[in-house]
Structure 1
Amino acid sequence: MKRPRNRISAALVAGLAGALLLGAADPAAAGEAASAGGTTVRTDAGWVKGAETGGQRLFQGIPYAAPPVGELRWRSPRAVAPWQGVRDATAPGSRCAQTADDWGLPASEAEDCLYLNVTAPARSGGNRLRPVLVWLHGGGLTRGAGSDYDARRLAGRGDVVVVTVNYRLGMLGFFGHPGLENSGAFGIEDQQAALRWVRRNAAAFGGDPRNVTLAGESAGSHSVCAQLTSPSAAGLFHRAITQSTPCGAGSFDGTPLRPVLDLPLWLPKVSYEGYGQYLAALLGCADPGTAAACLRGKPVADLLTQDPLPLPGYGNAVLPEDPAKVLQEGRFHRVPVLTGITRDEGTLFAPLISQGPMTAEGYEAAVNTRFGAAAPEVLARYPVGIHDGPPFQAVAAIMSDLDWAWPARDTDLLLARHVPTYSYEFTDRTAPPLFPLPHGIRPLAAHGSELSFLFGVGWESAPLTPAQRRLGDTMIDYWSRFAATGDPNRPGLPAWKRVRPADGTPYVQELSPGRGGIKPFDRASAHNLAFWDDLASRGTGAGRGAKAG
């Protein structure tokens, strides 16, 4: 008899919390709706019915904001209209408008796309509300969807409630124009609307709205960095996980070095509005007085023919200041951070710098153009046959070290000066790649290759080996423990030290399968950081130690 009594108690506790958060007039009704093990739940906009699948409760396609269509195109997200009855929540909502790509992600022309998915453990948590992990998908801020990530394993093993989110992308999420109020970062605003939904509704699904971790990979990590600096995100999350996009500590400022993939993370108002005026003219909406109305009248298909500028803009309501400056000055939200990269981030991106295959002569010429007088040293350090691959493999090795590992070190030290920071590197060079790579490039531990260790992914991916599956289990244990406490350590897991800014060389936890695969990682040696430090210091009058410390 004790077990049913515990279940009833959990439902009542969750129901009372739901009544307070949702403003329900009838706490008893809210208690019935928010049953810790039920698949019918009352949100603040109405009832939803999900399904139990894979041992977890899955609710898909829940609207968190009004459809941003018609006059709401390129406006801040608005409240969703309440619905009557019980809404089916067994299928994901539409993907936000995006083109198809060479890697098989589907296209979409949907503007009505502001939906999220909730995965919650099926078993009762007693009176305890579980930590919530909100996941922001990658895809260059132009592609992807929350439903690409099956969170059942993460939620079940980690005993957390996982929320995956759609947000506006490309031309519809990051377009700027003088005729649009607060333009430049509508997708970032969508993410905040989803976080506010979590704050209001998490308890109904057994999640703790006072313990929310915001996590993402690639463009999702870029978005987490934006939220760390956004004043309007204050209090919406309590921990942060950034995977494969360091928030940036100005590593290249004041040095003769530039990254190979030399793109900014953030755009000032003059840039995104100027480019928006250029695109408006291409679309036949050049008149400043009528441009906004003209653009809102264009079919989505016409918008998708244009090349977007998929970078968050600042100088608007959601990002009033340059996030790089906010981060550098330590004025970001004070939450613990778990951050890391993969060993070979550059293998996914190296082909983007050339339309076709690269010859050895082409590689040498490219290095000479990029590095000038230092080119012979770079060529000696990164020979054309590195990793037994084509010339693109050498480009990828440079990018992995210079574009990712070098700024990752500075970001670790910057964050650690203000908040508890835990750094990792995923080094499994046999991991299934995110997508097939062209030109015979060996993927190694490529950008995004850690995702299938945490999620079931929505694209074709080779199954994990037993050793990789065990590594994935450990990663889930770390991630969920961090979500629960702000510290990934717990008994039974290999110890993971915090980054200490006084160390100069941050502690990095290696994540690799097999016995002894989880251990301290010498990122500095693996990524030739002293070599890049030396090149960076030439002509600047200061070594890297003074800058990073």
Structure 2
Amino acid sequence: MVLGCSFLLLIVLDIAKSDGNIEIISSFGRMKGIEKAINNGSTKVYEFLKIPYAKPPVGKLRFQKPQPHDKLSGLYDATKFGPSCMQNITIANMYEHGHLKVSEDCLHLNVYVPHDLNTILRPVMVWIHGGGWYLGQGTTFDGSALATVGDVIVITINYRLGFFGFMTTLNDQFPGNYGLYDCLEAIRWTKNHIASFGGDPNKITLFGQSAGAFNVMYLATSPLSKGLFQHAILESGGDLRPYVLEPTIKNHSYQVIKRVGCLNITDGMSIPTDAIQCLQDVNAEMIVRESAVLRESSNESLPLWSTYFRPSIDGELIQDVPEQILKNTSSASFQVFNSIDILQGINSGEGESIVSYSRKLQNKYNFSLDNGIPTEVLCKELIPSVVRQFYNSNDRISQALCGAYTNSGGLEEQGRSAIDFMGDLVFAYPMQQILDFHSKFSSRGTYQYLFTKVPSYRMYPVPSWFLGVNHGEEISCVFGLTKVANYTHYEHNLCRTVMEYWTNFAKTGNPNSGNDGNLIWPSYKNRNAYIDFGDKLRIRHDLFRGRMVVWEKTIPALHVNFILSHTDFNVPFGK
């Protein structure tokens, strides 16, 4: 008799332990990792760090798709973190990286394995960090607590950033998206080798935050991802619209190429062969420096995506604007997107970054951000800036948005409404589009959340009148508060619950488990339900409904070329 072979797949790994280290012979080669005690010594986790999933993208491999790394020879030391990918060190310091070393030789991943290595194959969670596609690293995120709480394997990765990761000429010379291809290669490495660490190659969840969540979404709508992962968690990011993919990135690329001395003014918008050679040889620090100058050069009050090196339509990994390719129900992208489970959410104060954009307007409008943001600043500067960039300077749209986000309750209330405007534009409405589409066309799970519990800890200072949960402040909770010095008993319990939901989702595509005692989290298909992680757990419906109507119905009616409305997806369900 075969006793449950389909779900009771035991593995025996070739391992050895000594002096706080652990050696493993994997399908990728022999390596030495760390055996670490956590939770006051009551739990063990095994860490394998700086595993090279691709060849160093230097020389002729710079601005090329990643090449799979050869299998390791000899005993590889996987006990220390590797460097970050190229980025501005002072900005990296603000994000509290474990170290500030940067290098082009950075395509590494870190594997966190809970408890033991001889067990049933565990689900795998691959974390893609955020940072606007120009900063961040996988090593910032300690996956040990999440791995042990949920009994899953957690992987954190590096990928190329900024000009190195997303420079493009929008043609075959430099098609772009190298950083996204890095993420894809890391997932392929996981698929091919994670069984050696006790991971299930058929239960892979991608999860990411901010730019990392955008990357997850682009991978979830790419035909190249077919069969590579089964679940996706998007924290504060993801958009079906064209804005992030706008081709201004091509002009930015040429500007930097000229600034580093690899293109003459007379060359125009074509790149000769010697310029390609020059780009592959030019000093990496110079590229970082000149890219930063460009990023700070916008004259817009609210530049948003316009100064970023970011994903673009390359015709292969990203074949078109997601909302367009998903309309074709016979496309591979449609099939991939609707074959995975999705869990997506945001924080209550996602748009707080509008405060920093408003800082340079204080003298012009004679106000202090300590007191709030005046209606005049929102309606004369910030909203028109967005409308110029996204809606062809349509004055009627400016007027509609000004009316929708004007608050007569004083400067503080107006400041909070300005934050709502920014959060709705960049995060809340794009999230609704994704979830509406997925819940309509997919038979897989669709789940939504909102973080409203203001943390006792803050990532960085905020105005006293800001009452929400800032962009990124849920991350510490998801990873078990491992880098937070002081937190409350309730926060500890809340974050434990969050980790259980996340890892349950990684196991089954459903955040609920019959034996953890948590509140049942209903599907988004149940009247647009979402879970509110606040002072207590609550189930609610129709997140920000009054404000979402503005983006869903009012704005499209004012702009004949507007293609944002999710109601445009009139494709029969299941076809």
- Relative to the length of structure 2, the TM-score reads 0.78
Contact 2:109 2:156 in 1 (8 A): yes
Answer with 438-447 or 131-140: which moved more: 438-447
Decide whether the 8 Å contact of 1:153 with 1:454 is kept in 2.
Answer: no
2: CA distance, partners of 1:190 / 1:509 = 33
User: Is structure 2 residue 252 aligned with structure 1 residue 275?
Assistant: yes
- One-letter amino acid of the structure 1 residue matched with residue 548 of structure 2: L
- Mapped partners of 1:38, 1:469: distance in 2: 30
Deviates more, 1:171-180 or 1:92-101: 171-180
1:297 counterpart residue number: 281
1:411 aligned to 434, 440, 453, which one? 434
In structure 2, do the counterparts of structure 1 residues 441 and 324 end up closer, same or farther at CA, with 3 Å as the change threshold? farther
CA shift at 1:186, angstroms?
Answer: 0.3
How far did 1:297 drift?
1.0
73, 79, 93: which is aligned to 1:90? 79
Post-superposition Cα deviations, 1:127-181, rounded to whole Å, max 9, x if no partner, equal: x100000110011111111111111111001010000000000011111136864
Residue in structure 2 matched with residue 445 of structure 1 by the alignment = 469
Other-structure match for 1:373 = 399
Deviates more, 1:212-221 or 1:403-412: 403-412
Report matched runs for 1:48-197 at 5 Å. Answer: 48-53=31-36, 54=38, 55-99=44-88, 100-101=90-91, 104-105=94-95, 108-123=101-116, 126=119, 128-177=120-169, 181=173, 183-197=175-189
Answer yes or no: is the 8 Å Cα contact 1:344–1:444 preserved in 2: yes
Which blocks of at least 5 consecutive residues in structure 2 are unaligned?
1-8, 39-43, 264-270, 296-307, 368-373, 388-396, 571-575
Instruction: Quote the residue 2:377 is aligned against.
Output: 362
Between the aligned partners of 2:408 and 2:446, the Cα distance in structure 1 is 29
Q: 1: CA distance between counterparts of 2:350 and 2:30?
A: 43
Deviation at 1:443, TM superposition (A): 5.9
Judge conservation of contact 1:422–1:508 (CA < 8 Å) in 2.
no
The answer (yes or no) to whether the contact 1:218–1:243 under 8 Å persists in 2 is yes
Q: 1:478 aligns with which of 485, 501, 506?
A: 501
Amino acid at match of 2:220: L
Structure-2 separation of matches of 1:349 and 1:34: 53
Comparing 178-187 and 408-417, the one that deviates more:
178-187
Where 2:529 maps in the other structure, the secondary structure is coil
Cα offset, 1:355, TM superposition: 2.8
Match of 2:371 in 1: none
Question: What SS does structure 2 have at the residue aligned with 1:41?
Answer: strand
Change (3 A) 1:73 1:44: farther
- 1:502-521 aligned at under 5 Å gives the runs 506-514=528-536, 517-521=537-541
1:336 and 2:328 correspond: no
Q: Residue 94 of structure 2: SS of its match in structure 1?
A: coil
Any conservation in 2 of the 1:431–1:444 contact (CA below 8 Å)? no
Alpha-carbon shift at residue 123 of structure 1 (Å): 3.5
What is aligned with 2:520? 495
Once the two structures are TM-superposed, the CA of residue 529 in structure 1 deviates from its matched residue by 2.6
Counterpart of 1:343 in structure 2: which amino acid?
S
Q: What pairs with 1:388-427 in structure 2 (closer than 5 Å)? A: 392-419=415-442, 420-427=444-451
Corresponding residue of 2:244: 265
Deviations 1:46-88 (A, max 9, x none): 2111112122111111111111111111111112233332111
Task: Give per-residue Cα distances to partners, 1:298-332, cap 9 Å, x unaligned.
Answer: 11111012236421111243223333422454533
* Alpha-carbon spacing, 1:195–1:374, altered in 2? closer, same or farther (3 Å): closer
Three-state SS of the structure 2 residue aligned to 1:172 is helix
Residue identity opposite 2:533 in structure 1:
L
Pick from 17, 24, 29: which aligns with 1:41? Answer: 24
1:230 Cα offset (Å): 1.8
Identical residues among aligned pairs (%): 27
1:14 paired with 2:14, answer: no
CA distance in 2, matches of 1:278, 1:415: 38
Query: Do the aligned residues in 1 keep the contact of 2:28 with 2:193 (CA within 8 Å)?
Result: no
Contact 1:351 1:392 in 2 (8 A): no
Partner SS for 2:176 = coil
The 8 Å contact of residues 34 and 204 in structure 1, kept in 2 or not, is answered as: no
Contact 1:470 1:513 in 2 (8 A): no
Letter in 1 for 2:200: D
2:272 to 257, 279, 288: 288
Contact 2:458 2:473 in 1 (8 A): yes
Report the Cα distance in structure 2 between the residues aligned to 1:174 and 1:73, rounded to whole angstroms: 11
Partner Cα separation in structure 1 for residue 34 and residue 558 of structure 2: 62
Cα distance in 2 between the residues matched to 1:547 and 1:475: 34
CA contact (8 A) 1:179 1:288 kept: no
**Structure 1 residue matching 2:91: 3-state secondary structure:** coil
* RMSD, aligned CA: 3.2
Q: Distance in 2 between matches of 1:382 and 1:290?
A: 60
Q: Structure 1 residues 115, 382: CA separation in 2 closer, same or farther (over 3 Å shift)?
A: farther
Greater alpha carbon shift after TM alignment, 177-186 vs 276-285: 177-186
Instruction: Return closer, same or farther for 1:178/1:215 CA change in 2, 3 Å cut-off.
Output: closer
Residues paired across the two proteins, number: 498
- Secondary structure class of the residue paired with 1:202: helix
For 1:281, give the aligned amino acid.
Answer: K
Query: Per the alignment, in what secondary structure is the counterpart of residue 180 of structure 2?
Result: helix
Structure 1 unaligned spans of 5+: 1-11, 16-30, 251-262
The answer to which of 408-417 and 215-224 deviates more is 408-417
Return closer, same or farther for 1:349/1:90 CA change in 2, 3 Å cut-off.
farther
Structure 2 CA distance, aligned partners of 1:231 and 1:151?
A: 29
Aligned to 1:207: 199
What amino acid maps onto 1:122 in structure 2? Answer: H
Matches of 1:273 and 1:206, distance apart in 2: 43
- Write the distance in 1 (CA, Å) between the matches of 2:61 and 2:342: 34
2:110 partner SS:
strand
Q: How much does 1:547 deviate?
A: 4.5
Structure 2: distance between partners of 1:280 and 1:423:
43
Equivalents in 1 of 2:185, 2:56: separation in Å?
Answer: 12
Quote the Cα distance in structure 2 between the aligned partners of 1:487 and 1:368.
Answer: 39
The superposition leaves residues 516-543 of structure 1 with CA deviations (integer Å, 9 ceiling, x where unpaired) of: x232255135x63345556325446999
